[in-house]
A and B are shown apart, each in its own frame.
Chain A
Amino acid sequence: MSISSKRSVATAIFSGVSGLVFGLGLIVSHMIDPQRVADFLDIAGNWNPALAFVMGGAIVVAAPAFAYARRHSLSLIGNPISLPNRFNITPRLVGGAALFGIGWGLSGICPGPAIVLLANPTPQAIIFIAALVVGIWLTDTVLAVRSSTPDEAVPQASGD
């Protein structure tokens, strides 16, 4: 096996471990219970602030890794590190975040928990994921049609 294919196997194996630990974090923190998420978002009602500690705990642990990554161009196994743009505020960013906020508020489910919930394929879990895929596909299709306008034609994957 060549060095580059060994590296992509190592990348995939470690990524699986990371996904597993991420999923366990979502389970321990109860992020996979839509009611708990809605309780956190229900500021006017019986507000449960616990989920703020989820994001806080995650950021405290992850921030030093990002500080390291901003100063290095290669990961520990030699993959290139490229971090997303940090300053480009656009109507698309804000509008997209608002649409996501409506969907998250209606369902109490964001993409990570949606995937974890698929382990028990209830009608709720399957319908949410199917609609998520349709939404992604629709967006990419519309953006591809509009790609003659180069401004923001390519999805900006901050998350990937």
Chain B
Amino acid sequence: MDIFATATIGGALIGLAAAGLLLVDGRIAGISGIFANAVTGQSGLWRWTFLVGLIAAPLLAPFVHIEVPVPHHQAGLYMLAIAGLLVGVGTRLSGGCTSGHGVCGLSNLSLRSLVATTTFMIVAALTVYVVRHLGLPVGA
């Protein structure tokens, strides 16, 4: 299948998961918030089962004939540590990530999420520009 078809079908599955969680459970599928509130000890078993579902996905995918892509990392271990730290701080401050602001917030016609999504998209694109075209070494 071509990559636009798989992108759209994958996106529709993500939308289905977010819609279902909202309609059935009344919860928002914002993964940075779910993860952060789970690991900082907020009550709510549903957060842990959601995270288990995410981790189970690549283990169960072969049974439904979905191929799991191999991740190609451009960043080395030190750079991944810095990046993870920035993602943790940034998503906690802005209250959402690609799922919470990008998918759920935009679906909810949220101006807040539109501003956040536009900001992280532009900054991420600039960062990739600096890495790939200005030669910032990230392999360390």
Contacts and interface: CB of A to CB of B under 8 A. Distances in A.
Contacts of A44: 129, 132-133
Contact of A63 (B54, B82, B107): B107
Pick from A52, A63, A99, A155 the residue with the most CB of B within 10 Å.
A99
A98 B133 CA distance: 20
Nearest to B83: A107
A13 interface: yes
A116 B53 CA distance: 9
Contacts of A87: 110-112
A71 to B, nearest CB: 12
Contact of A117 (B48, B71, B109): B71
Interface string B88-127: 1111111111111111111111111101110111111111
Contacts of A127: 77, 80-81, 84
Given A23-B55, A79-B25, A127-B84, A50 B15 contact: no
B116 to A, nearest CB: 4
B112 A140 contact: no
A119 B58 contact: yes
Contact of A136 (B40, B115, B120): B40
Contacts of A35: 71-74
Contacts of A93: 93-95, 112, 115-116
Contacts of B111: 86-87, 89
A123 B6 CA distance: 28
Interface of B: 3-4, 6-37, 39-40, 45-61, 64, 66, 68-75, 77, 79-113, 115-117, 119-133, 138
8 contacts: A17-B53, A27-B10, A29-B13, A57-B9, A96-B90, A96-B95, A105-B123, A111-B97
Nearest first, the 8 A-B pairs at minimum CB distance are A159-B30, A135-B88, A159-B100, A19-B53, A29-B10, A23-B57, A105-B127, A57-B11
